[in-house]
């Protein structure tokens, strides 16, 4: 018998730290055209100079049975001085 790892979903409004390798681009993202490389470089420079001014809002990914997968959907933040998480 083996123990199954179960992810718990944080309560709405709770601040959590999510590793970049656990973030996925949300299919609900309204932006369908990616930012240009120049725009991403400008955002990265701004974040390097000022820091992140607002936390990302994420949504837990759930499987077909409604169980948390351990991944989170984010609607934006491709660069900003952070390694790319969605290619």
This prediction has a pTM of 0.56
Q: What pLDDT digit, counting tens, does each position of 14-27 carry?
A: 788 888 889 888 88
Q: 86: pLDDT confidence band, cut at 50, 70 and 90?
A: very low
Answer yes or no: is 1 within a domain: no
Residues 65 and 49: their CA atoms lie apart, in Å, by 43
Helices (H), the chain: 37-50
Query: Is 42 part of a structural domain of the chain?
Result: yes
Q: Over the stretch 49-74, which tens digit does the pLDDT of each residue have?
A: 998 777 778 889 999 999 999 999 88
Q: Is residue 9 part of a domain?
A: no
Domain with 70, as residue range(s), is 20-28+35-74
Q: How confident is the model at residue 10 (pLDDT cuts 50, 70, 90)?
A: low
Residue 48 lies in a domain: yes
Whether residue 6 is contained in a domain is answered as: no
| Residue bearing tokens 């607002």 | 54
Contact indicator for 80, 44 with CB cutoff of 8 Å: yes
Number of domains, the chain: 1
């Amino acid at each position: 018998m083996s123990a199954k790892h179960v992810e718990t979903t944080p309560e709405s409004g709770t601040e959590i730290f999510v590793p970049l390798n656990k973030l996925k681009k949300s299919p609900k993202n309204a932006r369908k055209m990616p930012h240009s490389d120049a725009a991403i470089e400008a955002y990265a420079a701004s974040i390097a100079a000022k820091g992140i001014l607002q936390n990302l809002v994420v949504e837990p990914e759930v499987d077909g049975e409604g169980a948390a997968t351990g991944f989170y959907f984010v609607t934006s933040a491709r660069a900003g001085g952070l390694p790319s998480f969605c290619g």
